[in-house]
């Protein structure tokens, strides 16, 4: 076995040059290349070949070859399916002196390769479950032996610059692009330094639970079309974002893709050449690094809160401000005020539906009058898994489907599809996701309802009558065109949201 491929190639190149230099003349004549070669001075040609070979021999290997990366897995891993990840982790952890750094790097690398959003290390009585969240669903990878849970936790704390001995208290930090110090050096080697991670430790009954959120790896953010937004919805979005002032709110549970939509929105604002505007964001955390936008990350531990950050941004002459989330009265008050005084505010609020966002803001203390003057639209969002195109098959209606879709009888020409499971979707029948939107534009009648203290239901009712397409309606259409299944709709949109 050759331990160092570079040395091998240098030796090979040197031997080859030796042969050429000694037998150059005879090779020339035997190949019939006399005419071509005599046009160049002999020694220059050989020196050229020698130089080229030495340069070639110095080019690092292991970028593509699976076998080289297996020999030195820390240099670069190969993407593997979850079954193989389990096998490899089990082999590594079963060794007499397991290489903890290698296990950590490998599990993180494989998670990124599998488009995982979060990596979970869940302590149990018998070991530590390694699980990946892929397309919103938890996938069990393997169980790591109990003896390694401490060393793995320590290793992750070291690269996140956290305190190792603090096991009885929750801690959180970052590593990768957003980290600093030792973590950068360590990650450079495994190639993970390009990505960005947020990590949280929490003491539980059987040890520390660790969750790593993988933030955008610097990939291009999506535009509205890639998000699955219909043309009509895109037109509304562009119109909303062209407004010089006001407030656009996104709402939906965690993991419903709100940040992705916000980044798509900011990118759309940036592309509006007719209105060149200064854009600033206040995020927790910064998920994508966007060129040309002033992004700041709040740090509540250091008292850099949303409301303080927002006031600071307002002193820097912004046109468009993205506030990651409004969750306290002070931020709500400053944001609404800014939206009334010549700034376009894009933000998110935790609420079940678009209409419920009004009640949420009134609840945290925004006056109905201010809300009415600032708010231009509320957009509710959900992510639906798409049927895998590799194994998509038509299927009949069941009683269950009718319940999931709130239908009495199957409509005519309404076909159902499902994925039967294949290699592409790892047997799940789903591959990729699409977003659903419900856009509630704040019109005069809605302002009147808000001023009169109407309920979220009444606001919703009015918006629907005025032509707003509800999340559920959009989801049924997605089933109708064979994009997703009734079960998936029922999973994502609860009964009381219909």
CB of 420 to Zn ion, least distance (A): 7
> Which of these segments, 189-197, 243-251, 412-420, 479-487, binds Zn ion (CB under 5 A)?
412-420
Does 425 interact with Zn ion (rule: CB under 5 A)?
A: yes
CB of 394 to Zn ion, least distance (A): 15
| Cα 262 from Cα 260, distance rounded (Å) | 5
For Zn ion, the closer CB: 146 or 422 = 422
For 68, the 3-state DSSP assignment is helix
Phi-psi bin for 255: left (phi > 0), alpha (psi -120 to 50), beta?
left
| Cα 345 from Cα 319, distance rounded (Å) | 9
For Zn ion, the closer CB: 85 or 388 = 388
CB of 385 to Zn ion, least distance (A): 11
Q: Which residue is nearest to Zn ion (CB)?
A: 388
Residues 370-409 that bind Zn ion (CB under 5 A): 388, 390-391
> Which of these segments, 9-17, 96-104, 322-330, 415-423, binds Zn ion (CB under 5 A)?
415-423
For Zn ion, the closer CB: 368 or 421 = 421
Instruction: Count interface residues toward Zn ion (CB under 5 A).
Output: 7
- Give the number of C-alpha atoms closer than 13 A to the C-alpha of residue 93, restricted to the C-beta side: 24
User: 142 and 124 in contact (C-beta within 8 Å)?
Assistant: no
CA dihedral for 338, 341, 345, 347, sign (positive or negative): positive
For Zn ion, the closer CB: 230 or 424 = 424
* Phi (first) and psi of residue 376, to 5 degrees: -105, -30
* Phi (first) and psi of residue 128, to 5 degrees: -120, 115
Does 454 interact with Zn ion (rule: CB under 5 A)?
A: no
> Going along 317-387, which residue ranges are E strands?
320-323, 344-349, 375-387
User: How would you classify the pairing of strands 171-176 and 294-297?
Assistant: unpaired
For Zn ion, the closer CB: 135 or 186 = 135
CB of 390 to Zn ion, least distance (A): 4
- Tokens representing 456 are 């979220």
Does 424 interact with Zn ion (rule: CB under 5 A)?
A: yes
For 297, the 3-state DSSP assignment is strand
CB of 418 to Zn ion, least distance (A): 10
For Zn ion, the closer CB: 247 or 425 = 425
CB of 233 to Zn ion, least distance (A): 28
Bridge partner list, 116: 134
Residues that bind Zn ion (CB under 5 A): 388, 390-391, 419, 422, 424-425
């Amino acid at each position: 076995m050759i331990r160092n491929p570079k040395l091998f190639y240098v030796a090979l190149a040197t031997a080859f040059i030796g042969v050429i230099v000694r037998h150059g003349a005879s090779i020339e004549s035997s190949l019939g290349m006399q005419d071509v070669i005599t046009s160049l001075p002999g020694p220059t040609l050989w020196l050229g070949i020698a130089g080229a070979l030495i340069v070639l021999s110095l080019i690092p290997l292991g970028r593509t070859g699976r076998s080289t990366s297996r020999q030195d897995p820390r240099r670069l891993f190969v993407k593997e399916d979850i079954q193989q990840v389990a096998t490899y982790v089990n082999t590594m952890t079963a060794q007499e002196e397991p290489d903890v750094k290698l296990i950590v790097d490998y599990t993180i690398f494989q998670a990124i390769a599998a488009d995982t959003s979060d990596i979970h290390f869940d302590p149990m009585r018998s070991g530590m479950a390694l699980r990946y969240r892929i397309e919103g669903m938890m996938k069990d990878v393997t169980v790591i032996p109990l003896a390694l849970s401490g060393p793995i936790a320590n290793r992750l704390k070291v690269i996140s610059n956290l305190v190792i001995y603090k096991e009885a208290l929750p801690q959180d930090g970052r590593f990768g692009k957003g980290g600093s110090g030792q973590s950068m050096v360590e990650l450079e080697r495994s190639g993970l330094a390009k990505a960005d991670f947020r990590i949280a430790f929490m003491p539980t009954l059987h040890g520390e639970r660790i969750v790593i959120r993988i933030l955008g790896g610097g990939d291009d953010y999506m535009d509205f079309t890639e998000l699955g937004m219909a043309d009509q919805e895109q037109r509304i979005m562009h119109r909303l974002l062209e407004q010089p002032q006001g407030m656009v709110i996104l709402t939906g549970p965690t993991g419903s893709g709100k940040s992705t939509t916000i980044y798509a929105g900011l990118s759309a604002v940036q592309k509006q050449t007719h209105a060149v505007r200064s854009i600033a964001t206040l995020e927790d955390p910064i998920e994508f690094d966007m060129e040309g936008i002033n992004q700041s990350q709040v740090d509540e531990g250091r008292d850099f809160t949303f409301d303080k950050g927002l006031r600071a941004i307002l002193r820097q002459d912004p046109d468009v401000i993205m506030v990651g989330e409004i969750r306290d009265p002070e931020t709500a008050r400053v944001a609404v005020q800014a939206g009334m005084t010549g700034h376009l505010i894009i933000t998110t609020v935790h609420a079940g539906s678009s209409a419920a966002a009004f009640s949420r803001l009134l609840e945290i203390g925004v006056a109905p009058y201010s809300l009415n003057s600032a708010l231009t639209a509320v957009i509710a969002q959900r992510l639906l898994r798409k049927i895998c195109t590799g194994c998509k098959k038509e299927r009949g209606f069941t009683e269950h489907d009718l319940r999931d879709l709130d239908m009495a009888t199957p409509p005519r020409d309404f076909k159902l599809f499902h994925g039967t499971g294949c290699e592409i979707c790892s047997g799940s029948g789903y591959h990729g996701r699409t977003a659903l939107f419900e856009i509630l534009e704040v019109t005069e009648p809605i302002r009147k309802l808000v001023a009169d203290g109407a309920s979220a239901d009444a606001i919703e009712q009015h918006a629907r009558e005025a032509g707003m397409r509800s999340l559920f309606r959009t989801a049924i259409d997605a089933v109708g065109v064979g994009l997703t299944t009734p079960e998936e709709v029922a999973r994502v949109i609860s009964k009381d949201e219909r």
